Amino acid sequence: VRRMVHEVVDHFGQIDALINDAGIVPHFNWGIPRWPRVRLMSKDFWDSVIQTNLGGTFLCTKYVVPFMEERRSGNIVNLWGGGRAENHGAAAYVVSKDAIRTFTRFVAEEEREWNVCVVAFSPKQAIATEDAPEEARKRLPGPEILGNGFVLATQAGMELTGKTVEHRNGKLVVAD
């Protein structure tokens, strides 16, 4: 991650915005018909989901923030989805995604004095990327539905830092 961030800065000269959108849905990736309930969940399964969903957000933020502090400017958008889900067996996913809201609030306060705005962005629904299994692509919208919301979120002002926001009717609003 550190090397990736340095390559971006070397190529573009600066980083204006970071969108943290890491997330795995294990049953699609590992052929598990349902997410395992906590009592049946392996530690490796738990660790993999937490490390990807929360750990990826942490590492990208950790290495991008110094470049934003140096310029006293930047926007970080952490995708928060699924934190409200109450699907049986989704504990690792839901815990990792809900932790992103808390992480967002902490980083927002730490970076406020450097004018780095940090928000959690709620897409309000699951999306399927191009590498998702066919089953997911058939029943879920693609990432293109998030485009305008992400653009607005990367331009959010400091009055929104630390908040969870969503895209409604062409505007960025604080989520309920």
Q: Is 63 a catalytic residue?
A: no
Q: In 37-176, at which residue ranges do the beta strands (DSSP E only) sit? A: 74-79, 116-121, 164-168, 171-174
Distances (CA, A) of 105 to 20, 101, 109, 117: 14, 6, 6, 10
The upper half-sphere exposure of residue 170, i.e. CA atoms within 13 Å in the direction of its Cβ, equals: 0
Distances (CA, A) of 129 to 58, 89, 159: 22, 22, 31
Single-letter code of the amino acid located at 65? V
* CA distance linking residue 170 with residue 176, whole number of Å: 17
The angle, 0 to 180 degrees and rounded to 10, between the axes of the packed helices 56-71 and 2-12 is 40
* CA distance linking residue 82 with residue 93, whole number of Å: 7
> Residue 34 corresponds to which tokens in the numbers above?
């349902």
Q: Which of 67, 80, 93, 121 is catalytic?
A: 93
Catalytic residues: 93
